[in-house]
Amino acid sequence: MNERCLRFADVRLIGADGSQVGIVQTRKALEMAREAGLDLVAVATNVHPPVCRIVDYGKYRYEMDKKKREGKQKAKTQDVKGIKIRPGTAEGDLSICLRKILAWIGEGNKVKVQVQFRAREITHPEIGRQKLDWILERLDGQVGIERPPTLDGMLMTMVLIPGKPAAKKEAKIEQIKDEQDSAKAV
């Protein structure tokens, strides 16, 4: 990394102990690094004057890679789950879809809900819109809408994202199960 610093006349130098040395000539900074038995590393080259640091380059790379790995571990991935229904899907099946949607949203995933039209069903897209509205009505503000229902060819698609706390979602799942049980009893 010492060669990258050579193209600059002056650099802002940070010492081996982390203290600010100040703005010095690049040749002098290289000499100071060699005397300490360390390397001169360009930390920020897009500022004027560029910032260089006197460090052990191998140790510096190891720490940077370690920070990168920790950042990846902490990053939460958000999957996109999908449900596909038809305009003729009954309410009982839709309530099962609701349970799945709430479970996936509770896990922090996005959910893509699609209404698939076949043949002449496409002449009545309002039926598909009613199915998606029915789902949104039952979810009752527990989810956010990333992409509202749009018709693209033979598919009407809507994307839902996590919205409210999971405790309310679990209560809503129980409510849907109770509605299903009462519907079976009748």
Largest CA distance in the chain: 88
pLDDT (tens digit, 0 to 9) for every residue of the chain, 186 residues total? 555 556 778 889 888 888 888 899 888 888 888 888 888 888 888 888 889 899 888 888 898 899 888 888 777 777 889 999 999 999 899 999 999 999 998 888 899 999 999 999 999 999 999 999 999 988 877 888 889 999 999 999 999 998 754 445 455 566 666 666 666 665
Q: In whole angstroms, what is the distance from residue 174 CA to residue 28 CA?
A: 71
pLDDT at residue number 132: 92
Q: Which homologous superfamily does the CATH classification assign to the domain defined by 2-58? A: Translation initiation factor 3 (IF-3), N-terminal domain (3.10.20.80)
Alpha helices in the chain (DSSP H): 2-5, 26-36, 57-74, 91-106, 125-139, 166-185
CA pair distance 177, 172, nearest whole angstrom: 9
Beta-carbon contacts of 16 under 8 Å, excluding residues fewer than 6 positions away, are 36, 38, 54, 55
CB 83 within 8 A of CB 97: yes
pLDDT given for residue 185 in this prediction = 63
Query: How confident is the model at residue 142, as a pLDDT?
Result: 84
User: Boundaries of CATH 3.10.20.80 in the chain?
Assistant: 2-58
The residues of the chain that CATH labels 3.30.110.10 are 80-181
What would the two tokens of residue 81 be? 């789950």
Provide the pLDDT for residue 167.
Answer: 45
Residue tagged 């190891």 (tokens) = 62
The reply to whether CATH 3.30.110.10 applies to domain 80-181 is yes
pLDDT of residue 170: 56
Q: What pLDDT is recorded for position 9?
A: 83
Helix (H) or strand (E) holding 44: strand 39-44
What predicted TM-score, i.e. pTM, was given to this entire model?
Answer: 0.52
Summarised one tens digit per residue, pLDDT across range 78-129 is 788 999 999 999 989 999 999 999 999 888 889 999 999 999 999 999 999 9
d(CA 145, CA 120): 28
